[in-house]
Amino acid sequence: MSTPPRISLTRFLIEQQRDHNRINSDLRLLIEVVARACKRISIAVGKGALGGVLGSAGTENVQGETQKKLDVLSNEILLEANEWGGHLAALASEEMDDPHSIPHRYPKGEYLLVFDPLDGSSNIDVNISVGTIFSVLRCPDGVRDPDERAFLQPGSRQVAAGYAVYGSSTVLVLTLGDGVHVFTLDREQGSFILTASHVRIPEDTGEFAINMSNLRHWEAPMRRYIEELLAGKTGPRGRDFNMRWVASMVADVHRILTRGGIFIYPRDLKDASKPGKLRLMYEANPMAMIVEQAGGAATTGRKRILDIEPTQLHQRVPVFLGSKNEVERVTAYHREADA
């Protein structure tokens, strides 16, 4: 038996451009550059205490969260890698109040890149998987100097989305709108190798991911759904469910992509000014595109995430995503309660 050819990310992208006409050379360069930046972040994460990268940076981001050194470093790595290639019109990130314009000395391209440079910050110092999430949009026609408004497009207009997980291995998960593909970093060679193609999330699942400590703040339909799962075999669902919560969205979503499950960060009523914890533009939208491309579903509990018309770069939304039948069930509970 002959071994199948090793397909590097570079080869995959060239074939997507040349054979399938799915991307142009600018989008190909963009994905390559983001992947290279993720490799650098992966190396920094992997050094841990030896690299002096653990702990707090002593600063706050626009959301009032304390930044970790790795939040700041990962943001810088992604900015620096993406500024000069001529493929982007602007960038935006969790760690920057406003979009970052491309310096005048460099050419500008047609794409907008939005990212969560380091997802799962609370896990950095305890050696648990963290990651990077990114979303690619087209700069609206005729916009020369994109500001926040240029980014406020529904997730259904994303041309690409992906995430990296810096775990026991480093993986890069990518969609260009034609299924979801997983690449594993070959650390010796320094290249991402295709290890799974057209991944599908099982429609049914027996596993849920949620931070249960917020239960007392949830809305009624949310409590109903979880109470039914917890009731197990003798409850209304007639079977037992298992729970997992890494507290890094990238790791929880990656598990769901691999073996199914439902991930929930619902709206909670402890702070009325926050309609959820996760951010639409660089957490919910890219993950929703990936999950839908893998046959799953992604809603706010009430509507499809990818249909939301954003009003702010850093806006938050409730997130329900993963195995289709569970997402549809809990979404139906919310709609019933509203009606």
Residues that bind Mn ion (CB under 5 A): 94, 116, 118-119
By the rule CB under 6 A, 93 interacts with ligand AHG:
no
d(CA 129, CA 138): 31
Among 42, 67, 121, 205, binds ligand AHG (CB under 6 A): 121
By the rule CB under 6 A, 323 interacts with ligand AHG:
no
Looking at residues 199 to 218 of the shown chain, list those that interact with ligand AHG (rule: CB under 6 A). 211
Q: What torsion do the CA atoms of 297, 302, 307, 310 make, to the nearest 10 degrees?
A: -120
Size of residue set near ligand AHG by CB under 6 A: 11
d(CA 218, CA 152): 28
**In contact, 192 and 9? CB cutoff 8 Å:** yes
Residue with smaller CB distance to ligand AHG, 118 or 294: 118
CB of 71 to Mn ion, least distance (A): 6
The two beta strands, 262-265 and 207-209, are parallel
By the rule CB under 6 A, 167 interacts with ligand AHG:
no
By the rule CB under 6 A, 67 interacts with ligand AHG:
no
* Polymer length of the chain: 339
Point out the residue whose Cβ comes nearest to Mn ion.
119
State residue 74 phi and psi, 5-degree precision.
Answer: -65, -40
Handedness of CA 162, 163, 164, 168 (dihedral sign): negative
| Ramachandran class of 177: left when φ > 0, alpha when ψ lies in -120 to 50, beta otherwise | left
By the rule CB under 6 A, 132 interacts with ligand AHG:
no
Among 70, 114, 116, 334, binds ligand AHG (CB under 6 A): 116
Residue with smaller CB distance to Mn ion, 112 or 281: 281
d(CA 156, CA 96): 24
By the rule CB under 6 A, 249 interacts with ligand AHG:
yes
From the list ligand AHG, Mn ion, none, partner contacted by residue 122 (C-beta under 5 to 8 A by kind): ligand AHG
Give the 3-state secondary structure of residue 171.
Answer: strand
CB of 94 to Mn ion, least distance (A): 5
Cβ count near 265 (within 10 Å): 22
By the rule CB under 6 A, 57 interacts with ligand AHG:
no
Residue with smaller CB distance to Mn ion, 16 or 158: 158
